[in-house]
Amino acid sequence: MSQSPAPNPQGGINNGKPANGAAPGAAGTPNRPANGAAGGASTPTNRPAQASGSDLNRIVMEYLHKKGYFQTESMLRFESSRAPAPAQPVGSQYTGGQNAANVAPGATPPPPAPPGAPQVAIGTNNAGQMQQVPIPKPPVAKSIHDDTTAIRKGYVMLRNWTEASLDFYQPELRRALYPIFVHCYLDIIAKGQASEARDFFATYSGDHAVLHGHDLQKLSGISLPDHIPSNELAQKFRSSKYRLNISRTVFDLLFYFLQEHDSTGGAIILRIVNQYIDAQVSSGRPNRFDSEGAVHSSEGLPDTAHGSQVDSFNQAEVKLGKLPYEASFEKEVEHSLREIDKGNADGGNSLEAEFASMKSDQDTAPNREMLPLPPHTSVDIAAEIQAVMDSRAKIKVGPVQAAMPSVCMYTFHNTHDGLNCLDFSSDATLIAGGFSDSFVKVWSLNGSRLKSVVKGDAATTSKRLVGHAGPVYGVSFSPDQRYLLSASADKTVMLWSMDTYTALVCYKGHNEPVWDVAFSPHGHYFATASHDQTARLWSCDHIYPLRIFAGHMSDVDCVIFHPNGTYVFTGSSDRTVRMWDVAKGSSVRVFIGHTAAINCLAVSPDGRWLASAGEDHVIILWEIGSGRRLKIMRGHGKASIYSLAFSREGTVLVSAGADQSIRVWDVKKSTVESGPEPENLTVERAPEAVSSAKGAEASKKREIVATPDHMAVYHTKSSPVYKVQFTSRNLCLAGGAFNG
């Protein structure tokens, strides 16, 4: 039977085994006591070891994190990351008698160390003699704020978190990224890392180029620490706090995220926010439609109009009036209209008077020489006379009229999800569709057969145009209906003849798939939008582009001409719309406010207003002259919007999208040009809440809150609407593919 070990006086368990070869019964001293005292109570080898300092820190930090004391935890984590000062070694300097107990009997103690000598420790050599061993100096701890890699890592971490956040919070978080980016860039330069600073600036400055391009251009010239005090803008960033309007919800999310990731760069960003940003925190939740887009006038650096950079850019002069007629052409049209009026004594408005009302004010009209066009022919004169007659005979639609626009819907069956785009001819006799199977198909809308001038080609109600090597994403008829353009994923645009229904020209120039194509209102010119982040201007008689419009940061998804033909509008996945001068090839307006990619654009017939819509489910109305947003129209719920069209008077806007509906909007309501209230209609008007699932199961119906300018809604039967377009007499045409 074994005997239990006796308890140790110091609380340990003595197992009876001598330590370090000591005689039985002697007090074991396996390790020298930390205080240098000789002898003392025994410390058995099987005594539980005390927790190290790192283990204690880990336990305490786990406890603080569990209890939610995040700030205390971050402070402890930061303090523990600093290397502590080394403890005084045992006998590091012999001072006579102080460490006498450490000297073995009969041994000669070392002499006192002279002042300034390196620290030494007392040990023994292989012969058992005492000697001094130099102690190497511990490495100096490098602060995390001195590490340029950590600065970049912290910004990238915050940027990635912002892009992964909910769409509702992203606009405010993106605005907060700009001053943080600037100070991270200046911090890296201040530490003398010029090459790393240039790489950081080149990689991430594009995120802020739209709103702050002018400032970034000033900061891009800084490469040395000595440049910072001499750069006026950099000095303002360093000496003043950047005002930032932010909601309480977003501020708390940002603060807690930085605290939680303080050891991986969050502490650096938190220091920048505390030192250089004046956060004006407002109560409540953010409104993404108010916060997205141009910086608010109250934001930015003190004594600077930081938020007005986009506004100042949008102050460039633009001519939005109608392109003047050539003098000879105008005289011939007036003479022809006068002859027609003589034979019509109905007492109505004369065609000559109607033509005079269609002319633009000379003060707002662009110079005729800005847009070179081919000489006019008799065909052009006949087309202009017909346009005047249609203008006089058109149905007047608007919010104060007693009838909504009439909509003629064309539904395509058995497309097998292959129909990508649609376009109507201006005389409403033809419709063209682009398919994923790399072909274009043209149908007759008036029932007549399509006859080709080519002998042996049978007349049919539809024609298939084959020539592309990839899906067709855009089609556009010329104003005279004689030609059709198609844009494809094969990076080309093709011009087709509607006389022979064959390809005439293949235009190559884009480096990536072409998403959209649009003819100029005057013909001859057309514009394209591509995945290569550019839009291009072409003329039908040249196989190379005349202008390359570069400036978007992502895909250019849609393109449209201004009614006078001298400007081009492009919508992009970078959430901006740009207006380009055809003559100069430069951007003259940028419209910022969308929160997702832009699918479609429309310009009012008078050329003053622009409507844009896309993946963020809203329609934004802009004033082109000032570049300012007039209002936001909501009613499509969570569905993407595919097409927009203004009525001939410009008072009514029609939209269509993936929610299988066509919606009518009062353009001027809730603007400075609001007119009289609409009359009561006999048809059902759209209330404040409009059903978005008409015809679906009752249990799945959801009510969508529409803005007050929503006038009416027309639902289709399981058919997303790809295209809406007004004819010259104000009949609305619509087309889509059956999805049932």
Domain housing 427: 408-672+683-737
- The strand pair at 483-488 and 492-497 is best described as antiparallel
Question: Across the strands, what pairs with 547?
Answer: 537
DSSP 591: E
Contacts of 552 by beta carbon, 8 Å cutoff, 6+ apart: 533, 534, 535, 570, 572, 574, 576, 578
Question: Element (H or E) spanning 424, and its range?
Answer: strand 419-424
Same domain, 300 and 387: no
CB 488 within 8 A of CB 517: no
Question: What pLDDT, on a 0 to 100 scale, did the predictor assign at position 376?
Answer: 83
Residue among 411, 403, 323 nearest 647 (CA) = 403
Integer Cα distance of 404 and 247 in angstroms? 41
Residues in the chain: 740
Question: What pLDDT, on a 0 to 100 scale, did the predictor assign at position 6?
Answer: 43
Integer Cα distance of 318 and 563 in angstroms? 13
Among the listed ranges 252-261, 306-315, 632-641, 675-684, which one has the minimum average pLDDT value? 675-684
Tell me phi and psi for residue 451, to 5 degrees.
-105, 135
Integer Cα distance of 515 and 511 in angstroms? 12
Choose between 652 and 16: higher pLDDT: 652
The number of domains in the chain is: 3
CA distance readout (Å), 426 to 153, 390, 480, 519:
56, 12, 8, 12
Of 285, 313, 341, the residue that ends a domain is: 313
Contacts of 347 by beta carbon, 8 Å cutoff, 6+ apart: none
Model confidence band, residue 210 (pLDDT cutoffs 50, 70, 90): confident
The pLDDT of 209-226, averaged and rounded, is: 85
19-63: pLDDT as tens digits? 444 433 433 334 433 443 434 434 344 444 455 666 777 888 788
CB 732 within 8 A of CB 407: yes
The pLDDT of 565-591, averaged and rounded, is: 94
Same domain, 634 and 712: yes
Same domain, 518 and 640: yes
Question: What pLDDT, on a 0 to 100 scale, did the predictor assign at position 310?
Answer: 76
Question: What pLDDT, on a 0 to 100 scale, did the predictor assign at position 736?
Answer: 96
Model confidence band, residue 398 (pLDDT cutoffs 50, 70, 90): low
DSSP 15: -
The pLDDT of 154-181, averaged and rounded, is: 90
Residue among 226, 227, 264 nearest 147 (CA) = 264
Q: Kindly write down the DSSP assignment for every residue of 456-496, as one continuous string.
A: TPPPBSEEEEE--SS-EEEEEE-TTSSEEEEEETTSEEEEE
Within a domain: residue 167?
yes
Question: What pLDDT, on a 0 to 100 scale, did the predictor assign at position 90?
Answer: 42
CB 206 within 8 A of CB 552: no
Sign of CA dihedral 332, 338, 344, 346: positive
Question: What pLDDT, on a 0 to 100 scale, did the predictor assign at position 138?
Answer: 45
Within a domain: residue 37?
no
Question: What pLDDT, on a 0 to 100 scale, did the predictor assign at position 9?
Answer: 41
Among the listed ranges 5-14, 271-280, 440-449, 559-568, which one has the minimum average pLDDT value? 5-14
Model confidence band, residue 361 (pLDDT cutoffs 50, 70, 90): low
Integer Cα distance of 142 and 83 in angstroms? 9
- Is the model's pLDDT at 420 over the cut of 70? yes
Helix, strand or coil, per DSSP, at residue 102: helix
287-300: pLDDT as tens digits? 654 544 455 666 78
Instruction: Work out the end-to-end distance of the chain between its first and last CA atoms, rounded to an integer number of angstroms.
Output: 89
The pLDDT of 554-583, averaged and rounded, is: 95
Same domain, 234 and 266: yes
Question: What pLDDT, on a 0 to 100 scale, did the predictor assign at position 347?
Answer: 58
Of 313, 341, 360, the residue that ends a domain is: 313
Same domain, 259 and 349: no
CB 405 within 8 A of CB 730: yes
Most confident by average pLDDT, 117-126, 211-220, 249-258, 664-673: 249-258
Sign of CA dihedral 666, 667, 672, 675: negative
- Is the model's pLDDT at 679 over the cut of 60? no
Tell me phi and psi for residue 150, to 5 degrees.
-65, -35
Within a domain: residue 678?
no
Burial of residue 317 (number of CB atoms within 10 Å: 0-12, 13-18, 19+): exposed
- Is the model's pLDDT at 737 over the cut of 90? yes
What order do you get walking across the sheet with 652-657 strand by strand? 641-646, 652-657, 661-666, 710-715
Strand ranges in 649-709 using DSSP code E only, listed in sequence order:
652-657, 661-666, 689-691, 703-705
CA distance readout (Å), 739 to 419, 614, 656, 720:
11, 20, 15, 7
Residue among 257, 238, 22, 256 nearest 160 (CA) = 257
- Is the model's pLDDT at 332 over the cut of 50? yes
Same domain, 249 and 187: yes
Choose between 507 and 32: higher pLDDT: 507
Same domain, 424 and 387: no
Question: Element (H or E) spanning 72, and its range?
Answer: helix 70-80
CA distance readout (Å), 567 to 521, 587, 697:
11, 9, 47
Integer Cα distance of 482 and 468 in angstroms? 20
Within a domain: residue 78?
no
What percent of the chain shows pLDDT beyond 90?
A: 45
Same domain, 413 and 504: yes
The pLDDT of 640-668, averaged and rounded, is: 94
Model confidence band, residue 669 (pLDDT cutoffs 50, 70, 90): confident
Q: Kindly write down the DSSP assignment for every residue of 492-553, as one continuous string.
A: EEEEEETTT-SEEEEEE--SS-EEEEEE-TTSSEEEEEETTSEEEEEETT-SS-SEEEE--S
CB 556 within 8 A of CB 529: yes
Same domain, 510 and 572: yes
Within a domain: residue 189?
yes
Integer Cα distance of 650 and 603 in angstroms? 9
Integer Cα distance of 259 and 37 in angstroms? 46
Within a domain: residue 239?
yes
Question: What pLDDT, on a 0 to 100 scale, did the predictor assign at position 325?
Answer: 82
Joined together, the tokens standing for residue 424 give 């109507």
Residue type, 128: G
- Is the model's pLDDT at 556 over the cut of 90? yes
Choose between 46 and 730: higher pLDDT: 730
Question: What pLDDT, on a 0 to 100 scale, did the predictor assign at position 282?
Answer: 85
Same domain, 660 and 621: yes
Question: What pLDDT, on a 0 to 100 scale, did the predictor assign at position 302?
Answer: 77
Same domain, 379 and 475: no
CATH number at residue 178: 1.25.40.500
Sign of CA dihedral 25, 29, 35, 39: positive
Question: Element (H or E) spanning 634, and its range?
Answer: strand 628-634
The pLDDT of 670-678, averaged and rounded, is: 57
What order do you get walking across the sheet with 514-519 strand by strand? 514-519, 525-530, 534-539, 547-550
Give the position of tokens 């002279």. 114
CATH number at residue 603: 2.130.10.10
The pLDDT of 344-362, averaged and rounded, is: 73
Integer Cα distance of 379 and 667 in angstroms? 35
Question: What pLDDT, on a 0 to 100 scale, did the predictor assign at position 400?
Answer: 59
Within a domain: residue 729?
yes
What percent of the chain shows pLDDT beyond 70?
A: 74
The pLDDT of 99-126, averaged and rounded, is: 49
- Is the model's pLDDT at 623 over the cut of 80? yes
Question: What pLDDT, on a 0 to 100 scale, did the predictor assign at position 696?
Answer: 43
CB 355 within 8 A of CB 388: yes
Same domain, 632 and 495: yes
Q: Kindly write down the DSSP assignment for every residue of 172-219, as one continuous string.
A: HHHHHHHHHHHHHHHHHHHTT-HHHHHHHHHHHGGGGHHHHHHHHHHH
Burial of residue 636 (number of CB atoms within 10 Å: 0-12, 13-18, 19+): buried
Question: What pLDDT, on a 0 to 100 scale, did the predictor assign at position 440?
Answer: 97
Choose between 705 and 192: higher pLDDT: 192
75-109: pLDDT as tens digits? 777 677 654 544 444 444 444 444 444 444 555 55
Integer Cα distance of 294 and 311 in angstroms? 8
Model confidence band, residue 574 (pLDDT cutoffs 50, 70, 90): confident
221-238: pLDDT as tens digits? 898 999 999 998 899 899
- Is the model's pLDDT at 619 over the cut of 60? yes
Of 291, 313, 335, the residue that ends a domain is: 313
Within a domain: residue 96?
no
